[in-house]
């Protein structure tokens, strides 16, 4: 038994195994470019359960049940000496296995237990954060981060996760203060920069947001592709809010085409195109290019947000028959669900995806009617607040394009609320 860099007991025989564990934790939390090194370590240290479990955890981010099956050999090796492991290690392995098969509640439950008893386990916290993204449980996410914050004041990346949880709960002034405090501690905390992007968008501080993200951008290239693409996506949405369409469109080259079959890159690429069209930009060939990569996700059922994004892309590409097959499959999946999952898939997911497909087909009145009753509860399908903004904007633009101007004005005023109005929203306001 040895101790890792966070002072946690690890069942390991060598310092090299502990180094691999610490390196993965550092890369995962910092969003570095070398988290994949854990797979090489897993090949070298086949008897170290936590090395195997960490390698398996990389498959959680695939967001695909088919791809996540690749974790099975690692999980099998992680359990090989089960009786020799301590309780934290067993809980962690259970959490990873549950996450890979899409059992988010079981995975989060395992990580919540770890957080209460071993709050310095930052890898468990990062994986829990991702499952909160998939379930949209922002309040629970904040409670989790508040629980472990006192034990991790030395860890800038963990503190940025607390800041982001505040933002997702609408506590944006506190989120900004926490993110800026984190950046003073470590200016290269990418998740804190990402948190500020959400704050700027949520408070309509568009010019400031553009200027700050542009100032950070030169440091992004040394980090992992996911956070590079995702921060470029946030900058692009700020450009769109400011009616800087060419600048937004040009950033597609920073987002798309590196690992186009991965869910994280695909999601940002589709959402950028979707937001561009909502702002009035005409596209065409881009949808046909992206459709083959979106197709596999349309036929899997992990969380409804991902189906909505994939099926919107296929619909815009004119893949009518494939879209209908995927809708039928999703309906059958929803009918099999019980408990909380039944509500997520049947009551929210199915009509949400139907509304998105209707909008993509130009059936704007139907889209607006399907989306309207869902918007207050749409968080449960997954995604972040800004990513789910496409559903709110699709409802609004659906009302506009179907001639329901009075309803569109009410929806727009509700959407803007007490924050400032962006140039894009001013254009919509003028249209009604």
Judgement on whether residues 235 and 267 belong to the same structural domain of the protein: no
> What Rg do the C-alpha atoms of the chain give, in angstroms?
22
pTM: 0.96
Picking from 196, 221, 255, the residue at the C-terminal end of a domain is 255
Residue with tokens 């990873």: 96
β-partners of residue 223 are 32
Output DSSP code: residue 217: G
Residues 299 and 343 in one domain: yes
Shared domain check, 292 and 143: no
d(CA 313, CA 189): 32
DSSP 225: H
Kindly state whether residues 287 and 422 are assigned to the same domain: yes
Hey, what are 399's tokens?
A: 């009302």
Domain boundary among 206, 230, 255: 255
What does the pLDDT profile of the chain (432 residues) look like in tens digits? 899 999 999 999 999 999 999 999 999 999 999 999 999 999 999 999 999 999 999 999 999 999 999 999 999 999 999 999 999 999 999 999 999 999 999 999 999 999 999 999 999 999 999 999 999 999 999 999 999 999 999 999 999 999 999 999 999 999 999 999 999 999 999 999 999 999 999 999 999 999 999 999 999 999 999 999 999 999 999 999 999 999 999 999 999 999 999 999 999 999 999 999 999 999 989 999 999 999 999 999 999 999 999 999 999 999 999 999 999 999 999 999 999 999 999 999 999 999 999 999 999 999 999 999 999 999 999 999 999 999 999 999 999 999 999 999 999 999 999 899 999 999 999 988
Alpha helices in 258-388 (DSSP H): 263-278, 285-298, 304-316, 320-336, 339-342, 350-360, 364-371
- Looking at the DSSP bridge assignments, the partners of residue 10 are 2
Question: What residues does 32 pair with on adjacent strands?
Answer: 223
Distance CA(395)–CA(401), nearest Å, equals 10
SS3 3: strand
Distance in angstroms (rounded) separating the CA atoms of residues 278 and 288 = 18
Query: How many Å apart are CA 145 and CA 155, to the nearest integer?
Result: 13
**Domain at 78, CATH number:** 1.25.40
- Domain final residue, candidates 113, 133, 149: 149
**Which residue matches tokens 């007490």?**
418
What letter would DSSP give residue 258?
S
- Residue length, the chain? 432
One domain for residues 70 and 120: yes
**Are 189 and 205 contacting, i.e. CB atoms less than 8 angstroms apart?**
no
Range of the domain at 72: 1-149
Residues 373 and 408 in one domain: yes
Shared-domain flag, residues 89 and 201: no
Query: Do residue 409 and residue 300 come from a single domain?
Result: yes
Token duo for residue 101: 């098969």
The count of domains in the chain is 3
């Amino acid at each position: 038994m040895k101790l890792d860099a966070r002072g946690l007991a690890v069942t390991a025989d060598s310092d090299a195994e502990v180094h691999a564990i610490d390196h993965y934790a550092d890369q995962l939390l910092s969003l570095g470019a070398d988290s994949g090194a854990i797979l090489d370590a897993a090949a070298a240290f086949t008897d170290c359960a936590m090395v195997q479990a960490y390698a398996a955890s990389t498959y959680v981010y695939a967001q695909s049940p088919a791809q996540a099956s690749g974790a099975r050999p690692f999980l099998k090796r992680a359990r090989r000496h089960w009786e020799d492991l301590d309780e934290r290690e067993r809980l962690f392995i259970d959490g990873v296995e549950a996450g890979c098969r899409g059992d988010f509640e079981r995975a989060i439950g395992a990580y919540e237990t770890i957080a209460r008893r071993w709050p310095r386990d930052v890898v468990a916290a990062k994986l829990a954060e991702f499952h909160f993204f998939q379930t949209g449980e922002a309040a629970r996410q904040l409670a989790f981060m508040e629980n472990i914050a006192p034990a991790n004041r030395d860890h800038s990346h963990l503190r940025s996760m607390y800041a982001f949880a505040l933002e997702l709960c609408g506590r944006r002034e506190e989120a900004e203060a926490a993110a800026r405090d984190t950046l003073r501690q470590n200016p290269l905390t990418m998740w804190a920069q990402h948190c500020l992007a959400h704050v700027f968008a949520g408070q309509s501080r568009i010019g400031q947001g553009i200027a700050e993200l542009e100032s950070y951008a030169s440091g992004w290239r040394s980090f992992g592709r996911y956070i590079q693409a995702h921060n470029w996506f946030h900058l692009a949405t700020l450009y769109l809010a400011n009616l800087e369409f060419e600048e937004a469109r040009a950033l597609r080259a920073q987002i798309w085409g590196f690992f186009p079959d991965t869910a994280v890159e695909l999601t940002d690429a589709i959402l950028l195109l979707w937001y561009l069209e909502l702002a009035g930009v005409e596209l065409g060939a881009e949808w046909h290019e992206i459709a083959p990569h979106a197709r596999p996700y349309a036929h899997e059922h992990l969380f409804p947000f991902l189906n909505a994004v994939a099926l919107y892309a296929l619909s815009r590409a004119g893949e009518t028959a494939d879209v209908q097959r995927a809708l039928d499959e999703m309906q059958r999946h929803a009918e099999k669900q019980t408990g909380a999952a039944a509500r997520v898939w049947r009551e929210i997911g199915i009509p949400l995806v139907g509304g998105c497909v209707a909008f993509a087909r130009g059936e704007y009145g139907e889209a607006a009617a399907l989306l309207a009753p869902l918007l207050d509860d749409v968080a449960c399908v997954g995604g972040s607040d800004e990513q789910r903004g496409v559903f709110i904007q699709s409802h609004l633009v659906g009302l506009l394009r179907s001639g329901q101007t009075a309803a569109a004005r009410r929806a727009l005023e509700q959407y803007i609320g007490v924050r400032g109005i962006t140039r894009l929203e001013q254009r919509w306001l003028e249209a009604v």
